[in-house]
Each structure stands twice: as C-alpha cells, then as structure tokens.
DNA sequence: CGAGGATCTGAGCAAAGGCTCATCTTCTCC
DNA sequence: GGAGAAGATGAGCCTTTGCTCAGATCCTCG
C-alpha cells in the first residue's frame, strides 16, 4: 500500500524516509481530518492544520504540494478505512439466506458510514466539484460489487441487476448521509435499520424479471 | 411572500422601494445563482457577482448585509421554485390509483430537481454546515407531506408511515442528487424512473403492518 | 566524531476577497 | 422646479490564507 504524498498530476514532494518524517505526516493528516470533521472545510486552513499537528507550516509543505493534496490524502485514507470496514462486515455474506444477508448488508453500510460521519460529510463538501475522484471511484466500485452480488443470487431473478444496484446503493447512501447531517443520533435507531431492510427487500422483490 | 433582504438575526439592509431597486436586487440574485450553478460556490465572490449583475459592489451591499445573506436569499428563492414545481406536479394525485400515483410522484420528484440541478448542488455545498435551514426545512416539510399522504391511503396499511416516508424521501433525494452529480444526463433515462418506481412500490409493499 | 542528507522552523510575501464610505446621480412628489 | 430620499459608484482598507525561503537542527553511518 503506497503511503504518503503522491499525486497523479504534477504534485510531488519529499516522501518521508526516516520514521520521524512518517510520524510527522501522520500527525498532519490526522490533525487535518480532525479539524475537517469538527469545524468543517473552511476551518481547515493550512496554518491551522500545522498548528494543531504541532509542526510549522514549512513542514507541512515539505510533504504536501498544496492544500488540495492534503485533502486528497485524507480522502484516500478515509476511503481505505471505509472499504476495510465494509469488507470486514461483509465476509461470509454469500453463504447466508437472503433476509439474513440483507440484515448484514444494512449493518455493514451503517457501520461503514459510522467510521467518521462528520469527516465523510466534510469531504463530500470540500472535495465536491473538483477532485473527489477517490470517493466517487469507491462508490462506483461498491455499486459494481453489489451488482455482481445481486446477479449471483438466482433466487432474486432480477431483470436489471445493475440498475437495481445503482438505485439501492445511491438511495441508501443518500439516506444515510442525510440522516447523519440532520439527525446523527438516529443512525443507531433499530427502527431505521428495519425500515432500510424493508426498502431493500421490497425493492428486490419488485425488481424481479417477471414482476 | 416577503421579498428581499430580510434576515432573522441582526442583518438588515435597505429594502428596495422603487422598481429600479427591485430590478437591481433581482439582477444581483440571478447573477449570483448563475455563477453558483456554473462555477460553484468558490467562484461566487461578491465582486464577481456584482460585476456579472452589472452593478457595483457598493450596490450589492446596499441590499445584502453580507455574502451569506445573498446566498440565503438564493436558497429561499430556489426552494420556493422547487415547492411550486412539486405542488404543480402533484395536483390531483390523491384521486389516482396507487401505481399511477407513484408514477406521478416519481415524475414530480425528478421534475423538482430538474429545476436547477447545478444550483441545487452548489447550494447544498455552500450552505451546508451553517445556514441551510431553508433547504432543510423544505425537506422536512416534504417528508411530512409524504407521510400524511401515505397515512391517508388505507390500502397501504403501513405500520410506520413516518418512517417509511423518511426512508423514501431521503433515499430518493440522495439517489437523485448523486445521479445529478455523476451522470446528469441519466435523469432522463426512463429505465431509471422505472427502477425508482420499483423501489417505491417495493418499499411500500414490504412496509405493511402485517408484513 | 563529523559530513551530508533528512527534517523542521517561522517570518513574511503576494493574492484574494469581503466590505466600507464619501460622493455622485436619479427619482418622487409637492 | 427643487428638496430630499432612493439608488448607485468604486477606490481601496483590512483581513485571511496559501505558500516560499533562508537557514537552523537532528540523524545516520562510515
């Protein structure tokens, strides 16, 4: 797994060689993520980040070409974390019967978003429009994954697995994001999980080939 | 139907008396909305807005206490427009049979978002975190409206109409917003409309009292 | 130990943008 | 017609912020 300050375009900077440098980079990224999560994108100025990380701005710019690069790195780490949680919560799901599998899926999606709700939201804001490729790519990947999983289950007999996957993933994602923004505590509400379950099962049932 | 530069807190400014003033205010708001929609929140600087509106910054600040007030006014107008479109697209829906009603609903929701997709997205970004009360209030209102509509239809026999409404409204909203961001042209895809229909019908069916 | 690379420092430059104010122009209305 | 209110102007102040640079300090390793 690559680690630090690499960009695709033309934005490189020194990569840490000594462990001291690595620690510094981590401190910077974590400080930035914290500010982002607690006070939003506007508060995450490079100077503020450096201060919170306990390093000088000079040091920050030693590892990141510019503010944008820092944000992208945060996005990359966040996505990796979400992916890990998702994968973990989904292992062995193929062996389960449909209702149980759906329960698992709901739990997994919720868990994935619970990793860092505020940060997730902040990233969706700050990266939007420009380079939220990382997050987008992840979401696209999830849609593909779900699509394939749906195809595999013959019992479902969907007429358009991809479409169904798209609707489900984007719908659930939006639902959860909205809920996080407006009623964060509600994520733990079992009733909501049940409602999501109903939505998924209902959508699947209604999307059968001979519906 | 108040009109222009009124805030709740402590941010007032002259309200236009002469029609000239009203025209100026409209020009400013429209210019700002245009920039917001085309180039995003970052590009919507007060100077840029004034320039595009063909007035001086001084004039802009004659009617708006600060940039934020301007954004809020845009939000207010946008929400009003969406509300109008929604109401229009939904008239007489109570008399329709369920499948037809759902089709109408899907069309209405899509139409509502098509009013100004880019602006809608930009507002969600720029207002987020601080004062997007206006948009939030609207969304809450829509949830309430849908909840009541669901309750009315005895045929549905929902166990938790409110929950179902929440899930449907937030889910569909998120689905549409994500689609607008990633594949704007797809909003016109009839297959997507069908998929949304399936999602709604399925969710309703699966949310019955004795499910 | 000491050379040389890695790391870190922070004052401050330059750009950008929000917003003010002193002043001028246009309307309204008696 | 003209007084006074409404409307408009725009140079520029002031603050914020991204980012640079000339060095200082710390580490590694022969």
Q: What are phi and psi of B201, to 5 degrees?
A: -60, -45
pLDDT band (50, 70, 90) for residue A127: low
User: Whose CA is closest to B203, among A143, A194, A187?
Assistant: A194
- Between B160, B174, B203, which is nearest A199 by CB? B203
Is residue B9 classed exposed, middle or buried when 0-12, 13-18 and 19+ CB atoms within 10 A define those classes?
exposed
Whether B61 shows a pLDDT value over 60: the answer reads yes
Which residues, in sequence order, are bridge partners of residue B208?
B158
CA of B59 to C1' of C26 (A): 14
Dump pLDDT digits (tens) for A38-48.
999 999 999 99
Query: Are both A34 and A138 inside the same structural domain?
Result: no
Query: Are both B48 and B136 inside the same structural domain?
Result: no
CA of A121 to C1' of D11 (A): 41
Number of domains in chain A: 2
CATH number at residue A27: 1.10.10.60
Query: Are both B92 and B167 inside the same structural domain?
Result: yes
Whether B141 shows a pLDDT value over 90: the answer reads yes
Residue A199 lies in a domain: yes
Q: Spell out which residues of chain A touch residue B177, defining contact as CB-CB under 8 Å.
A: 174
Tell if the CB–CB gap between B171 and A166 is shorter than 8 Å: no
- How many angstroms from the chain centroid is the CA of residue B204? 24
Residue B175 lies in a domain: yes
Measure the CA angle with vertex A148, ends A125 and B109; round to 5°: 45
Query: Are both A29 and A80 inside the same structural domain?
Result: no
Give residue A125's pLDDT. Answer: 80
Query: Are both B43 and B111 inside the same structural domain?
Result: no
Give residue B90's pLDDT. Answer: 92
| Measured torsion, CA atoms of residues A17, A23, A29, A35, in degrees rounded to the nearest 10 | -160
Half-sphere exposure (Cβ direction) of B104: Cα atoms closer than 13 Å? 17
Buried b (16+ CB within 10 A) or exposed e, B71-102: bbbbbbbbbeebeebbeebbeeeeeeeeeebb
Over range B166-170, report the average pLDDT: 97
Measure the CA angle with vertex A119, ends A113 and A122; round to 5°: 115
Which residues, in sequence order, are bridge partners of residue A158?
A208
pLDDT band (50, 70, 90) for residue A128: low
User: Whose CA is closest to A30, among A78, A82, A100?
Assistant: A78
Residue A144 lies in a domain: yes
Is residue A51 classed exposed, middle or buried when 0-12, 13-18 and 19+ CB atoms within 10 A define those classes?
middle
Over range A74-87, report the average pLDDT: 95
Give residue B14's pLDDT. Answer: 76
Residue B162's contacts (CB-CB under 8 Å, 6 or more residues apart) are B143, B147
Contact A179, A187 (CB under 8 A): yes
- Between A121, A136, A174, which is nearest B170 by CB? A174
Residue A153 backbone class (left: φ over 0; alpha: ψ -120 to 50; beta: rest): beta
Give residue B130's pLDDT. Answer: 59
Residue B79 lies in a domain: yes
Give residue A2's pLDDT. Answer: 32
In chain B, % of residues over pLDDT 90 = 81
pLDDT band (50, 70, 90) for residue B13: confident
Residue B180's contacts (CB-CB under 8 Å, 6 or more residues apart) are B113, B117, B120, B121, B187
Residue B140 lies in a domain: yes
Query: Are both A105 and A150 inside the same structural domain?
Result: yes
Residue A150 lies in a domain: yes
Query: Are both B131 and B187 inside the same structural domain?
Result: yes
Residue B128 lies in a domain: yes
CA of A45 to C1' of C19 (A): 22
* CA dihedral sign, ordered A96, A101, A103, A105: positive
Tell if the CB–CB gap between A163 and B191 is shorter than 8 Å: yes
- Between A170, A181, A202, which is nearest B202 by CB? A202
Q: Which of B18, B38, B65 is the last residue of a domain?
A: B65
Query: Are both A118 and A82 inside the same structural domain?
Result: yes
Nearest chain A residue to B123 by CA distance is: A125
Comparing B173 with A1, which gets the higher pLDDT? B173
pLDDT band (50, 70, 90) for residue B11: very low
CATH number at residue B106: 1.10.357
Q: Spell out which residues of chain A touch residue B37, defining contact as CB-CB under 8 Å.
A: none
Dump pLDDT digits (tens) for A4-22.
333 233 244 778 788 888 9
User: Could you tell me which residues of chain A have a Cβ less than 8 Å from any Cβ in chain B?
Assistant: 40, 42, 121, 125, 128-129, 136, 139, 160, 163-164, 166-168, 170-175, 177-179, 181-182, 191-192, 195-196, 198-199, 201-207, 211
Dump pLDDT digits (tens) for A149-192.
999 999 999 999 999 999 999 999 999 999 999 999 999 999 99
Over range A199-205, report the average pLDDT: 97
Give residue B83's pLDDT. Answer: 95
Query: Are both B84 and B116 inside the same structural domain?
Result: yes
Tell if the CB–CB gap between B201 and A204 is shorter than 8 Å: no
Tell if the CB–CB gap between B167 and A192 is shorter than 8 Å: yes
Query: Are both B95 and B161 inside the same structural domain?
Result: yes
pLDDT band (50, 70, 90) for residue B4: very low
- Between B129, B166, B203, which is nearest A202 by CB? B203
Which has the minimum average pLDDT: A31-35, A131-135, B118-122, B136-140? A131-135
Q: Which of B17, B33, B65 is the last residue of a domain?
A: B65
Q: Which domain holds residue B21?
A: 1-65
Residue B146 lies in a domain: yes
Query: Are both A54 and A158 inside the same structural domain?
Result: no
Measure the CA angle with vertex A203, ends B166 and B144; round to 5°: 15
Nucleotide at minimal C1' distance from the B43 CA:
C17
Residue B155 CB neighbour total at 10 angstroms: 9
Give residue B7's pLDDT. Answer: 30
Query: Are both A44 and A93 inside the same structural domain?
Result: no
CA of B75 to C1' of D18 (A): 30
């Amino acid at each position: 797994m690559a680690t630090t300050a690499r960009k695709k375009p033309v934005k490189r900077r020194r990569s840490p060689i000594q462990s001291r440098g690595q620690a510094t980079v981590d401190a910077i990224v974590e400080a930035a993520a914290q500010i982002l999560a607690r006070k939003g994108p506007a508060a995450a100025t490079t100077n503020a980040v450096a201060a919170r990380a306990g390093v000088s701005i000079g040091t920050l710019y030693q590892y990141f070409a510019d503010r944008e690069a820092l944000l992208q790195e945060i996005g990359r780490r966040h996505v990796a974390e979400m992916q890990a949680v998702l994968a973990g919560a989904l292992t062995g799901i193929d062996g389960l019967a449909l209702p149980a599998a759906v329960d698992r899926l709901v739990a997994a999606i919720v868990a994935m978003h619970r990793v860092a709700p505020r940060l997730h939201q902040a990233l969706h804001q700050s990266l939007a429009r420009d380079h939220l490729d990382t997050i987008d790519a992840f979401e696209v990947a999830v849609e593909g994954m779900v699509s394939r999983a749906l195809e595999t289950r013959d019992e479902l007999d969907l007429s358009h697995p991809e479409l169904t996957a798209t609707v489900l993933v984007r719908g659930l994602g939006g639902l959860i994001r909205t809920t996080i923004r407006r009623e964060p505590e509600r994520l733990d509400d079992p009733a909501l999980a049940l409602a999501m379950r109903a939505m998924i099962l209902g959508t699947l049932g209604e999307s059968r080939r001979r519906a």
